[in-house]
Structure 1
Amino acid sequence: MANKYVNFISDEHLLTCIENLHKSYLKAKKKISKKSFYTNKVDTIKLTFDSKFNDIKEDDLIQSEILRQIDKSINNSIGTFHEHILGGIKGYEVGNLSGFDIKAEDDTLFADIKNKHNTMNSSSAEALFQKLARYADDYKKARCYWVQILAKGSFNEHWKGDINGKEYSHSRVFKISGDQFYALLSGQDDALFQLYKALPKAIEDYLKNYKSESIVKENLALEEITFETEKSKRSILDQITFENYSYYLGFDKL
C-alpha cells in the first residue's frame, strides 16, 4: 500500500518523529516558570520600547518573550527531528551520541547535521572539519558531510578553505544543503519538499490521536507574575522590573 505522507520513509516513522518533537515542545513549555523566565535577566527597558512602539499589550508582550525563550530550546530539537527522519531511510541510521548524527549502515557516509547554516563559530567549524576528516581517514570509502538543513543556497560541494587561519581540505569531506542531503539519502530530488508539504496533514493526524497524560500549563510564568501584580498593584512590566532589579538604586520604589 502506498505511503500517505512521503515516499522515502514509512508513515509510522514520520508520526513517531512528530511525536518525539511534540514531547520536546511540551517539555520546553513546562520548564518556563517565573523562576526559569528570570534566569537570564529580563530587559524591561527594551520591553517598554517594544510595548509602546509596536502597540503591544504588556501581557501579550511577556507571552511572546516567554515563547522566544521556548524557541531557543526547541531549535536543537528541530535538528534532532531531521536526524530521526533521515535515520528512517533504508540503509541509514541515527548516531545516538556516537560522534556523528547520521551514518550509512555500510560505513560509506557520515554526517553532522546543523539546522541552520550560521550556528557555528570558527572554533566549532574547525573542530567539526577535523572530526569529519578523522572519519574519512578511518573509513576509506566514506564521504563525510556537514549538513546545513536551512542553507543560503542549494549545494553539495567539497568543504575547503581557511578556518581560524589554517587551510583545510579533504578529498572526501563535503558541505551540503538540506535539500541536497535529503535527495542524496532518499534518491528522490524532492524529498525535503515532500516532507514540507506532508507535515501539516501528518501533524493534524497525530494531534487527532494524541491523548494528553497531563495538562501542561503553557502560561505558567505569566500566571505567576500576574498573581503577584494582583497583590502589589503594579503593572506587569513594573512587577518584572521590581523582581529583577529591586537591588538597583531607586528601583525598590516601584
Structure 2
Amino acid sequence: MNSYLDFIKDKDFEKSVDYVLKGYYEKKSIEKEKHAKNVVDMLIKDKNTIDEFKLVFDLFGDETHLNDWKMSEIVRQTDKTVNNYIGEFHQMVLGSIKGWTNLGTGDETGVDLKKDDNSIFIELKNKYNAMNSSSQSECRRKLENIVEKYPDSTAYWGFIINKKYKPVCEIWEYTYPKTVELKKDSRILKASGDEIYKLVTGDPNSLKKTFEALQIILNEKIDGYHLSSEDKKSLQEFSNHVFLESR
C-alpha cells in the first residue's frame, strides 16, 4: 500500500519515521537523566567534557546563570542524538525503494546506497558541510574505488540540504590535501537532495512530497499534538521557499 508516497510502501515509510522517533524518545530519556543532576554534577561527572573556558565566556557573554546554561547545554547535547537518527532517515527511505539497497554499515564499498544492478552508488550526508577535510578525502577515495571496481558505474556524494537550498548535480572536482592535482572524473558526481531523490525515484518532486508526507504521518503518530494553524502557515511558506529554490 502506498498511501503516503507513491514510490515507497507505507510500511517502509513508517519504519523510517519510527526509527527517527526512537531518537526523540532516547533524547527525552537523556534529558530527564541530565535534568535530575545538579549543575556541579553535570560539570564534573557528565560524559561530555565541558569546555571550561567557553562556559565562562557563555555566562558573561550571554549574561546568564549556571542553571540557565545547564538547560541550554542539555538541549545542545541531546540534539546531537536526534541528528544522528535523522541522518539515517533519508538513507532508509531511499534504500526501501524498489531496485535500491540500503547498504547500512560494513559493506565493502563503505557507502550508503546502491542501485541493485551496481550502476549507481551514493554516499549520503544530511548537509553539504557535514564533512571536514579528512572526511571528504575518505569519501572521495571510496567513490574512486567504486568506479575502479565497477567501471560502468556512477558514484555520488549526495547531501540532502545544500547551501541556500540550491539544486546541484555536477562532476565533483576535487584536490586532495597537500596536493595540486585536480581530480575530475565524469563518473564521480556531487548532488543535492532533490537531485538524489529524483535519481532514485524518477520523480523530480519526490523530496518535496516526502517533506509533505512526513507532516501527515507524524500528525497521525503523535497523540495529543497537532500543529497550530499559524505553524502550518509558516511551514508552508518555508516549504515554498525551499522547494522553489530547488527547481
TM-score bin (small chain): 0.7 to 0.9
What's the RMSD between the two structures over aligned residues? Answer: 2.3
Higher relative contact order (CA 8 A, sep 6+): 1
Which of the residues 80, 86, 92 maps onto 1:78?
86
Report how many residues are paired.
205
CA contact (8 A) 1:79 1:115 kept: yes
Q: Deviations over 1:138-191 (max 9, x none)?
A: 112211000011112201111113231242122211100011000110010010
What percentage of aligned pairs have identical amino acids?
32
CA contact (8 A) 1:100 1:110 kept: yes
1:38-117 to 2 correspondences below 5 Å: 39-41=49-51, 43-49=54-60, 51-52=62-63, 59=67, 61-97=69-105, 98=107, 99-117=110-128
**Counterpart position of 2:10:** 11
Q: Deviations over 1:7-55 (max 9, x none)?
A: 2112221111111111122223433534436533464323324653xxx
Q: Aligned partners of 2:16 and 2:112: how far apart in 1? A: 15
**Counterpart position of 1:249:** none
C-alpha displacement at 1:134, in angstroms? Answer: 0.7
CA contact (8 A) 1:51 1:61 kept: no
Range moving further from structure 2, 88-97 or 43-52: 43-52
Q: What SS does the aligned partner of 1:167 have?
A: coil
Q: What is the TM-score of this pair, normalised by structure 1?
A: 0.73
In structure 2, the gaps of 5 or more residues are 35-41, 225-247
Q: What SS does the aligned partner of 2:215 have?
A: helix
Q: Aligned partners of 2:129 and 2:62: how far apart in 1? A: 30
> Structure 1's 141 and 70: CA in aligned 2 closer, same or farther, altered over 3 A?
same
CA contact (8 A) 2:167 2:194 kept: yes
Q: Aligned partners of 1:57 and 1:203: how far apart in 2? A: 36
Q: What SS does the aligned partner of 2:118 have?
A: coil
Q: Aligned partners of 2:15 and 2:148: how far apart in 1? A: 35
The one-letter amino acid paired with 2:122 is: A
Q: 2:123 matched to 1:123?
A: no
Q: What is the TM-score of this pair, normalised by structure 2?
A: 0.75
Q: Aligned partners of 1:194 and 1:49: how far apart in 2? A: 45
The one-letter amino acid paired with 2:162 is: A
The one-letter amino acid paired with 2:49 is: T
CA contact (8 A) 1:15 1:206 kept: no
**Counterpart position of 1:220:** none
The one-letter amino acid paired with 1:27 is: E
The one-letter amino acid paired with 2:188 is: V
Q: Aligned partners of 1:45 and 1:77: how far apart in 2? A: 31
**Counterpart position of 2:188:** 173
Q: Aligned partners of 1:28 and 1:127: how far apart in 2? A: 30
Which of the residues 163, 170, 181 maps onto 2:176?
163
The one-letter amino acid paired with 2:134 is: S
Q: Aligned partners of 1:203 and 1:62: how far apart in 2? A: 30
Q: Aligned partners of 2:104 and 2:132: how far apart in 1? A: 24
C-alpha displacement at 1:121, in angstroms? Answer: 2.0
Q: Aligned partners of 2:137 and 2:16: how far apart in 1? A: 31
Q: Deviations over 1:205-229 (max 9, x none)?
A: 12249xxxxxxxxxxxxxxxxxxxx
Which of the residues 131, 149, 152 maps onto 1:141?
152
Q: What SS does the aligned partner of 2:204 have?
A: coil
Q: Aligned partners of 1:67 and 1:50: how far apart in 2? A: 19
Q: What SS does the aligned partner of 1:141 have?
A: coil
